[in-house]
């Protein structure tokens, strides 16, 4: 019994251990994932955690510490928005941005409401511009005030698209708005449209093949003119119904598609803008009489087509189109004037010149009379 008692005591001593605590510290970094779904440019951030392996050793009075960290990588991609008003199977209908097919009249009223009030995001305005053009081309244009959008509002809406990157293609128009990355080797310079195929952007790497093609209309800004520009917007209307009767003061008529451009500059100082324009005569606007063609912009202040700042168009027989350039941005088109009225058009200009010369001559004569009178007075009273 004494031997068994001693053996029990020794066994108890061998089993006694010192208990220690193991402390672990975990540090994690959080990443934020952001996605943009309604604009053409979507930026996504994904987190890729790094793995760590912790090895522990079972020994008394040992402190084991491990740290887990995570890292994140960011990728940016630009895609073209999927909206187009042309997806409806019924040709008399247009699709709203949510995909619902409605009558062209309803589409015109819906888009006009967004554009006239100016309510909505930049994407809403861009979609409304595309929808409005498609609606007025699919049916007789409504003249109701609530369904009509003025040219000034169309141009103003385009200029507001300076904070997004978006491209909208349809059978009746092409819209592109994009920030300019001057460090890129492929900077946006303009846009082009070919009936039956739609529109495409024009960059400094595609400008030559774009212009050496059967394009219905194209506009390209000289890269030098874009040095102080941070965003560029262009809108091409294939069949510009809303421009057909906007000039009530002259006999000038629309002959082509309409292209409009807008930029947002880095500074408030404005400088000249060298834009080259290329127009084919649209079949629906083909003159039925001998005509003279003019490269014009729509002068909103005077509600008329104006050629100020634009060169005379030259005919390029190889591509059956007229080419010209202008030194500012607004809405441009090829305009025609009947040859029978060119004489009166020229006489009106010469009459204005003659009137100016008459007034200048009278001013000179009056000035000479004053001088002669002054000299005569001094001669008589030395």
- The pLDDT assigned to 355 comes to 58
pLDDT over 90 at 126, yes or no: yes
- The pLDDT assigned to 249 comes to 85
- The pLDDT assigned to 292 comes to 94
Mean pLDDT over residues 253-274, rounded? Answer: 89
Range name among 14-28, 131-145, 147-161, 261-275 with the lowest pLDDT average: 14-28
- At 350, the pLDDT band (50, 70, 90 cuts) reads very low
Range name among 142-151, 201-210, 270-279, 350-359 with the lowest pLDDT average: 350-359
Most confident among 10-19, 222-231, 338-347, 365-374 (mean pLDDT): 222-231
- The pLDDT assigned to 23 comes to 38
**Domain-wise residue ranges, the chain:** 78-149, 162-351
Residue 155 · residue 262 · CB < 8 Å: yes
Mean pLDDT over residues 37-62, rounded? Answer: 36
pLDDT over 50 at 332, yes or no: yes
Terminal Cα-to-Cα distance of the chain (whole angstroms) = 162
Q: What pTM, to 2 d.p., does this model score?
A: 0.69
User: What is the distance of C-alpha 41 from the center of its chain?
Assistant: 13
Q: What is the four-CA torsion angle of 254, 168, 100, 119, rounded to 10 degrees?
A: -80
User: In which order are the strands placed within the sheet that holds 198-203?
Assistant: 198-203, 188-194, 217-221, 275-279, 321-326, 314-316
pLDDT over 70 at 192, yes or no: yes
Place of tokens 């451009």: 261
- The pLDDT assigned to 123 comes to 94
Residue 45 · residue 31 · CB < 8 Å: yes
Nearest to 160 by CA among 101, 63, 233, 95: 233
pLDDT tens for residues 197-245? 999 999 999 999 999 988 999 999 999 999 889 999 999 999 999 999 8
CA atoms of 130 and 169, how far apart (whole Å): 8
CATH 3.40.50.150 fits domain 162-351: no
- The pLDDT assigned to 70 comes to 36
CA atoms of 277 and 221, how far apart (whole Å): 9
Mean pLDDT over residues 334-350, rounded? Answer: 68
State whether residue 100 is helix, strand or coil.
coil
């Amino acid at each position: 019994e004494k031997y068994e008692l001693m053996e029990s005591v020794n066994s108890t001593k061998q089993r006694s251990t010192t208990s220690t605590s193991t402390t672990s510290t975990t540090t994690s970094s959080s990443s934020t994932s952001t996605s943009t779904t309604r604009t053409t440019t979507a930026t996504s951030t994904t987190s890729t955690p790094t793995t760590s392996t912790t090895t522990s050793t079972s020994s008394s009075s040992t402190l084991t510490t491990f740290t887990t960290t995570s890292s994140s990588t960011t990728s940016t991609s630009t895609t073209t928005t999927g909206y187009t008003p042309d997806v409806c199977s019924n040709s008399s209908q247009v699709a709203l941005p949510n995909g619902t097919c409605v009558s062209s009249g309803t589409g015109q009223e819906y888009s006009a409401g967004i554009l006239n009030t100016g309510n909505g995001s930049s994407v809403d305005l861009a979609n409304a511009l595309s929808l409005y053009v498609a609606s007025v081309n699919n049916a007789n244009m409504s003249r109701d005030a609530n369904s009509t959008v003025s040219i000034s509002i169309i141009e103003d809406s385009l200029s507001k698209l300076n904070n997004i990157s978006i491209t909208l293609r349809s059978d009746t128009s092409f819209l592109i708005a994009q920030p300019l990355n001057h460090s890129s080797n492929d900077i946006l310079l303009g846009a082009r449209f070919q009936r039956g195929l739609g529109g495409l952007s024009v960059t400094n790497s595609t400008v030559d093949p774009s212009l050496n093609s059967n394009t219905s209309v194209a506009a390209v800004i000289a890269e030098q003119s874009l040095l102080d520009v941070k965003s560029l917007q262009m809108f091409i209307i294939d069949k510009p119904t809303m421009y057909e009767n906007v000039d009530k003061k002259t006999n000038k008529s629309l002959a082509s598609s309409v292209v409009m451009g807008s930029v947002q500059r880095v500074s408030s100082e404005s400088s000249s803008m060298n834009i080259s324009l290329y127009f084919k005569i649209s079949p629906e606007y083909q003159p039925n009489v001998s005509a003279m063609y003019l490269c014009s912009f729509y002068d909103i202040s005077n509600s008329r087509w104006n050629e100020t700042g634009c060169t005379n168009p030259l005919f390029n027989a190889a591509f059956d189109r007229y080419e010209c350039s202008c030194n500012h941005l607004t809405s441009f088109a090829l305009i025609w004037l009947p040859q029978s009225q060119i004489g009166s058009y020229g006489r009106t200009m010469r009459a204005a010149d003659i009137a100016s010369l008459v007034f200048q001559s009278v001013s000179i004569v009056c000035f000479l009379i004053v001088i002669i009178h002054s000299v005569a007075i001094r001669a008589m009273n030395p």
